[in-house]
Structure 1
Amino acid sequence: MSAFPRIPALASRAGTASALTAAMLAASVLIPGLATGAQAATSGEQALKVAASKKGSPYQYGATGPNRFDCSGLTLYSFKKVGKNLPRTAQSQYNSTRHLSSGSRQVGDLVFFHSGSNVYHVGIYAGSNKIWHSPKPGGSVRLEKIWTNSVWYGRVK
């Protein structure tokens, strides 16, 4: 009998740990600012992962998933998957969140695009001034830089 009978099992566990570490590093590249390691992910960060997993899903007006989305359908779907309820439209979602300054925004918060007092688009903040969103007809779910200063931020309660 070997003096080191547990080495294969330990090597196997180390391989699994390495694979998990690699997966977290890959996720942090896909989702800038995402918590890693022992930090517990907020519901917003969890919803962001859900939205990112829908990358490439086509835009469809009024769609709430699981394979097609409009902007507020993607946010509704993503938060619902992590146990949070949101209303259906971007304006209603804005009205139901805790409003934040841009300096207080965090990964997983909602970003609301507005014209005057009218909210017309929503995405999930991914850090580095980027959002995951379902942009428009002919587009698909993607990570994109915030293109305007006419945005408000909200945190799902």
Structure 2
Amino acid sequence: MSAPRLRLLALPVLLPLIVVALLATTLGLAPGADAATRREKIHHARSIALHQIGDRYAYGAAGPRRFDCSGLVYYSYRKAGLSVPRTSSAQAAHARHIRKSHLRAGDFMYFHDGGGVYHVAIFLRWSHGHAVMLHAPGSGQRVHRDAPWTRSWFAGTLRGR
């Protein structure tokens, strides 16, 4: 059988596969598209949170212009199209726990004591072996970048959920 005839016979089999692949890519259903979209949303949420620097802390507040720690996460990530619970302990239960060494910008740092999670921050980067985070620290303070004050924290992410 000649090569052009063989190509013509393969066309009815390949054409539907090509159409399905193009539709899947266009609709965001291609393998990895969902993960890429989630990464983009996490990056966008981090950007939204960074724009809140200087906003005042207010217990129970979830923005705009006033936040508690979990309210900052709730506001920023929901505005970026990601579903997160309202409180830091519920956010910790919702996130996938990861090793600290696997943190990426936009992941979470959950601070805990014997009674459970009491604070959440957004991980920004590592600097000289120390985490740099964004958070709404407490009464009388404003949203700002900071370093952890304790080693009693664990990491969580919305990647891979």
Q: Same fold (TM over 0.5)?
A: yes
- Following superposition, the deviation at residue 42 of structure 1 comes to 3.3
Residue-by-residue CA offset, 1:68-109 (whole Å, 9 max, x unaligned): 000000000010111001111100000000100111111110
Residue-by-residue CA offset, 1:109-141 (whole Å, 9 max, x unaligned): 011000035000001000021111100000010
Asked whether 1:131 is paired with 2:133, we answer yes
The percent of aligned pairs where both chains have the same amino acid is: 37
Q: Indicate the structure (1 or 2) with the bigger Cα radius of gyration.
A: 2
Between the aligned partners of 2:148 and 2:124, the Cα distance in structure 1 is 10
Q: What does 1:1-157 correspond to in 2, within 5 Å? A: 42-116=40-114, 118-128=116-126, 129-156=131-158, 157=161
Between the aligned partners of 1:98 and 1:92, the Cα distance in structure 2 is 12
Q: Which amino acid aligns with 1:85?
A: S
Residue-by-residue CA offset, 1:21-56 (whole Å, 9 max, x unaligned): xxxxxxxxxxxxxxxxxx986332221111110011
Aligned residue pairs total 119
Between the aligned partners of 1:92 and 1:136, the Cα distance in structure 2 is 19
Which consecutive aligned stretches of 4+ in structure 1 deviate over 2 angstroms post-superposition? 39-45
Between the aligned partners of 1:63 and 1:145, the Cα distance in structure 2 is 23
- The structure with the largest helix share of the pair is 2
Question: What is the root-mean-square deviation in Å for CA atoms of aligned residues?
Answer: 1.6
Between the aligned partners of 1:116 and 1:130, the Cα distance in structure 2 is 24
From the superposition, tell whether residues 152 and 117 of structure 1 become closer, same or farther in structure 2 (CA, over 3 Å): farther
Q: Which amino acid aligns with 1:138?
A: G
TM-score, normalised via structure 1 length: 0.72
Q: Which amino acid aligns with 1:56?
A: G
In structure 2, stretches of 5+ residues that fail to align are: 1-35
In structure 1, stretches of 5+ residues that fail to align are: 1-38
